[in-house]
Chain A
Amino acid sequence: MSGEEEVPPRVAIGISFGNSNSSIAYTTGEGKAEVIANEEGDRQIPSILSYVEGEEFQGTQAKSQLVRNSANTVAYFRDFLGQDFKSIDPTPCHQSAHPKEHETTIAFSIRDSESETPSTVTVSEITTRHLRRLKTSASDFLGKPVTAAVITVPTNCTDAQKEALKIAAAAADLEVLQFINEPTAAVLAYDARPESELSDKITVVADLGGTRSDVAVIASRGGMYSILATAHDYNLGGSQLDQVLMDHFAKEFLKKNKSAGDPRENDRSLAKLKLESEAVKKALSLGASANFSVESLAGGIDYTATVNRSRYELLANKVFASFTRLITGVVEKAGLDVLDIDEIVCSGGTSHTPKIANNLRAAFPESITIYAPATNTSSLNPSELAARGAAIQASLIQEFEKEDVEQSTHPMVTVTPHLRNAIGVLLISGDESKGKFKTILEAETPVPVRRTVHVTTPREGGDVLVKLCEGLREIKVTKPEPKPKAEKADEDDEDDDDDDDEDEETREKVWKVSKPLAEAAVKGVKKGGKIEVQVNVSADLEVVVIAREVGGKNEGVRGVLSKPDVVENGKA
């Protein structure tokens, strides 16, 4: 691509393309990601297209057409792209244009022109039209034509789906610089804030959407991210919560108007019920009560009602519990304990619901940061995270040549050995059973890596031994008396019971030294001096250790640990 011809500089944005909503974001000159509002002032733009007399509507305008013009309105089509007709679940489309099989792809039969006969429009073409509109909105806002984008996709998005999306984007004159995973984009959106510090942490990203929910456990090590486990639920999302409210209001309506008929049994009534229930749900995320009001809901009868948040939370209790189960389940799937989690990032529109975050607060230890509006005032808008992350990545790579991006994202680069166990030094005592383990490199750190830490020395100074070892995290359970309702004890690590501890069973993270690696002697350390230990792990797991006194005159000690003889992990 490094041709001679003059290529105008790219203008790249971040796009989060969802089944329910899409967002567009850009990065300001100061490097801050901002979500762009479209002409209607929406930052969450419904991924819906509707045609009335040949005129195209998108976003909120198209969404309101679901009531009167549902047959010519296309919604929830993202997951159909690049899919085989047999493998899709058309359930979300019951109240809009139905997907149908068309050659090898999926299409909708809609009247998108002034002619009376409907035309067959493929899902790819629908996506192109949607992306073109998003691109136009961004171009109008930025005042210059947008030419490229980083688009977020779910972690289980196949190559075929990505390819189909790339083709649809190209038809909208949009160059896809890179596809990035939605949870990683959310983590990036948080880590790119100026106030956030680079740290080693394990983050659970709960992306709670409209028709599906995706959860991922991400290890973040020195600003590099690795996904440890993911879970997807296609039957859990905001639409389940809408359904709870729809059922509630429909029953209330029937109680008052026995003759009018169930609004759920008439398509148009159902569409009105759904739109208003969704609005009520959103209002209940912000306020303690909300009004439901639909003109001519069924049988020509207007209906208004009020619902408060506690009533709603009671009704939706089961759905909320499923969210918690999905999230705690993926932690187990990653082979981790809730104590290993450092933060939870709630992403997606449904994360605005206060009860979901409060339930997570109860399910996870106090120490965990839960980024959701209800539990953390410094949290970002959950609906905007993916788009912001994409915009940040877009600004990082928009100068790159296409080849560079392709080479950098190639598996040759991304498949990397990760440390199986943590590496650290023993403090206080040289005895492995008594010493305190201080971590230098956490488990799951990708190599090559270089890390420097300062360790304290014995108070009196003198000659000091630096003992490097591998450590294993264990969960220590201390229980005072057997109590039946105790939290799950998954480790049969029976430590001596502490009798004077009157609280409930306590679980804590402890380090156990699993394997000594090396010893280094640093001589003549000043009283109260510190030792700087640098560990350099190469890609083939050779370790170079350098230990020296901070501010000391001595050269320090340098030693090499040879790489392991046999690599058992097949691919390496």
Chain B
Amino acid sequence: PVLPDGWAGTNNFKASGTLSAPNQRNLEPVGPHFLAHARRKRHKRTFSEDDRI
């Protein structure tokens, strides 16, 4: 959408809410993407840190 006149926000950004509470579910520990997820979680890496390796 077009930016309305008089819109204001710090650094062009305005937060207006937070995410709804999540559902706790069990991931299926299979497949290459899960293994990548498990590796990040165990080493407490973020996505960008993981990308660099």
Contact = CB atoms under 8 A, between A and B. Distances in A.
B15 A521 contact: no
B52 interface: no
Contacts, number: 207
A446 B25 contact: yes
A475 interface: no
Contacts of A392: 31
Interface of B: 1-4, 7, 9, 11-35, 37-42, 46-47
Contact of A464 (B3, B13, B15, B24): B3
Listed from nearest, the 3 A-B pairs whose CB atoms lie closest are A223-B33, A559-B13, A417-B22
Nearest to A397: B35
A419 B19 contact: yes
Interface stretch (A125-133, A292-300, A420-428): A420-428
Contacts of B1: 426-430, 435, 458, 464-465, 467
A181 B33 CA distance: 17
Contact of A522 (B12, B15, B26, B42): B12
Nearest to A560: B15
| Size range of the chain A interface in the assembly | 35 or more
A415 B38 CA distance: 11
A411 B19 CA distance: 24
Nearest to A419: B22
Nearest to A564: B18
Given A225-B34, A435-B1, A562-B15, A415 B24 contact: yes
A226 interface: yes
A223 B20 CA distance: 23
A471 B23 CA distance: 16
Contacts of B31: 188, 191, 223-225, 392-393, 396
A537 B19 contact: yes
B22 A572 contact: yes
A454 to B, nearest CB: 16
A497 B41 CA distance: 50
B31 to A, nearest CB: 6
A527 B16 CA distance: 29
B13 to A, nearest CB: 3
Interface string A543-572: 101000000000001111111111111111
